[in-house]
Amino acid sequence: MYSCSHCGKCFSCQNYLNAHMHLHTNKYQCGECGKRCQNINALGVHMRSHSGEKPFGCTVCSKRFTTSAELVVHSRIHSGDKPFKCLTCDKAFTQSGHLVRHMRVHTGEKPYKCSLCDKSFALSHHLQAHMRHVHIVCQCPVCRKMFKTNRDLKQHVRSHTAAKPHSCRHCSDRFTLHSQLKRHLLDSHNEETWLVCDICQKIFSNTGNLNKHLRRHEDMKPYICHDCQKCFCTAAELKSHHVVHSGVYNFCCGLCAKGFKYRQAVSKHLHRCASKLGFV
């Protein structure tokens, strides 16, 4: 591991460390978040993360990206191209970062350490799962309900505080979620227009959801699992499927402590388990 003398961040090779060191000496600084960039062009690209501008669109699924590099990586999902190959077992990957993580299978490296119990993990999401289920870091302080991420927790806490940060510019109505505001603008103020499926007449509030829906009519499944080659209509479905290959059990029965990969599975199990133990 190559460590930065300024911030202590570690990298797998000297070239990555050299590129990172520029962040401590660069003159081009973002006025929004303070991040430093190598040149004015890099700063311009970074500013898109604040403005929401995504000029690069995928011609297959219409998903959009901030940079051309992100689009190139995404296009490999559709093409099946895997340019990064493991020299030990010949397994191939679409991104260099995936290869770096895979190599830990051969090296035994576990760079992610739990700050509470000092247990180590090869992957960051394994550490996150450990923190959620062992140390309970994403728990609502009001009702003790558990969540996968801090973002989900913050959104849930609004249900207790009645916080509604998204306000309508036409009336006094306010909403907890931005998606609720957008639907209100369509329903109540006819702002913009509903998007209608030409085949079944189902309506949608944005083009992304409509495009996903149309793929089901066309039986188009552009998202391919690199482990088993199974195909899916949406990136969310592919992400959910990846749990099958991960070996990570994110859900646990509160009665017998048995682990499950999917929420639906633990829900079905809970009733049977409660009956078996005499609770119902």
| 224 and 257 co-located in one domain | no
Neighbours of 238 (CB within 10 A): 19
Does residue 72 belong to any structural domain of this protein? no
Q: Is residue 226 part of a domain?
A: yes
The two tokens of residue 221 are 């499944």
Please give the biggest Cα pair distance in the chain: 68
Q: Which pLDDT score, from 0 to 100, does residue 1 have?
A: 65
- 264 and 229 within one domain: no
pLDDT of residue 132: 63
Are both 225 and 255 inside the same structural domain? Answer: no
Same domain, 274 and 235: no
Q: Give the up-direction half-sphere exposure of residue 129: CA atoms within 13 A in the CB hemisphere.
A: 17
Cα gap 181→141, rounded to integer Å: 27
Clarify whether residues 221 and 239 are in a common domain. Answer: yes
CATH number at residue 243: 3.30.160.60
- For the chain, residues with pLDDT lower than 50 are none
Give per-residue pLDDT as tens, 91-144.
888 888 888 888 888 888 888 887 767 788 887 777 877 776 666 556 777 777
In a domain, 117, yes or no: no
Rounded to two decimals, the pTM is: 0.37
> Tell me, what's the pLDDT at 128?
75
pLDDT of 39: 73
Residue 163 pLDDT = 74
> Are 234 and 200 in a shared domain?
yes
What is the span of the domain harbouring residue 199?
194-248
276 and 265 in a common domain: yes
d(CA 144, CA 252): 16
244 and 199 both lie in a single domain = yes
Tell me 166's DSSP state: E
Please check whether residues 199 and 239 belong to one and the same domain. yes
230, 272: one domain: no
| Residue 95 included in any domain | no
Give dist(CA 86, CA 96) in Å, integer.
10
Report yes or no on 168 lying in a domain: no
- According to the model, what pLDDT value does residue 280 have? 55
5, 28, 53 - which closes a domain: 53
Is 164 part of any domain?
no
> Does residue 86 fall inside a structural domain?
no
Q: How many domains does the chain have?
A: 3
Considering the domain architecture, whether residues 260 and 276 belong to the same structural domain is answered as yes
How many Å separate Cα 47 from the centre of its chain?
21
Decide if 90 is inside a domain: no
